Amino acid sequence: MERPRDRYIQVGDINTRYWAEGSQGSPVILIHGLGGFIECWLLAIGALAAKYRVYAVDLPGHGRTGKPLDWPYRIIDLAGFVKDFMDTLGIDRAHLIGHSLGGATTARLATISPQMIDKMVLVSSAGLGKEITIGLRLCSIPLIGEILTRPSRSSAKRLVESLAHRPDGSTDELAEMVYRLTSLPGAHQAYLRTLRANLNLWGMRPSQYGPIVAGLSAMPHPVMIVWGKQDGVVPVAHAQTAADRLPNARVEIFDACGHIPMLEHPDTFHQLVLEFLADGQVSGNG
């Protein structure tokens, strides 16, 4: 797909980059993960825009959105930002698709403003338990994190290869994009602030995942949970743990897949999402 046009909007005090594609159907909002950016959704936005009005947004501290160093960057703050983003664009209600930290952000928004969400797709979602890869936990340690996450092409390549089950040419392109965007002024500091606000050496902070897990049983929304069987970042066991608590959930586990199902198995991912959203679709606005 041709790359969508970058758009910018002021969300509170933060200059926010987003994409908007499609001219019909319910609004769908795509939310990337830690260290991610809207380009992670390039394939998905093209597949979904034929039937929906699709938005992808760079979260604070990420991509080409503003990176205020005095912003808190907790999951609850990211959820509030997505709410404000929707309010600013006049979107009362939408389907939300969140990956990793974006999944945690989506689920947290469902606990504070459930009326703003029709359906949710949680992709390799953080925030459903304490366990998370040791690599991220080590980055929470002062100085060690600064060294391990220092932007370079080689570190970007290692990062992307750790996310995918079978790295290929497409992951090389993603690694170059990671390097370029994490090298922007303030990006490195904002990444570490986000990471440390939400996890420590022992895993996800209970203050961040606890309210999400506690709120799962009260979520009335239809939820599809998508996970890679070989996810090395967030354990696949969290998928079933969440599904057991959610009153209206389905689980899709992709074999031969790591932490980025929407990029590793895009055709299957898009087909499942389109079927899920279309099943008893609720109309929105925006």
Single out the residue of 88, 94, 98 nearest to residue 113, CA to CA: 94
Whole-number Å distance between alpha carbons of 27 and 149: 35
Nearest-5° angle of CA 175, CA 177, CA 181? 120
In tens digits, the chain (286 residues) has pLDDT values of 689 999 999 999 999 999 999 989 999 999 999 999 999 999 999 999 999 999 999 999 999 999 999 999 999 999 999 999 999 999 999 999 999 999 999 999 999 999 999 999 999 999 999 999 999 999 999 999 999 999 999 999 989 989 999 877 667 888 999 999 999 999 999 999 999 999 999 999 999 999 999 999 999 999 999 999 999 999 999 999 999 999 999 999 999 999 999 999 999 999 999 999 998 643 333 3
Residue 43: which of 277, 252, 271 has the closest Cα? 271
Q: Which of 75, 70, 47 is nearest to 59 (CA)?
A: 75
Please tell me the predicted confidence (pLDDT) of residue 280.
64
What does the pLDDT read at residue 27? 98
Q: What per-residue confidence (pLDDT) applies to 284?
A: 35
pLDDT of residue 169: 66
For residue 79, what pLDDT is reported? 98
Please, what are the domains in the chain?
A: 7-131+205-278 (3.40.50.1820)
- Residue among 77, 285, 107 at smallest CA distance from 198: 77
- Cα distances from 87 to residues 12, 82, 83, 159, 276, in angstroms, run 11, 9, 6, 34, 25
**Contact (Cβ atoms closer than 8 angstroms) between residue 212 and residue 127:** yes
Phi, psi of 72 (to 5 degrees): -75, -30
Distance of CA 1 to the CA centre of its chain: 21
Q: Which residue bears the tokens 């960057």?
A: 73
Asked whether the beta carbons of 124 and 102 are under 8 A apart, the reply is no
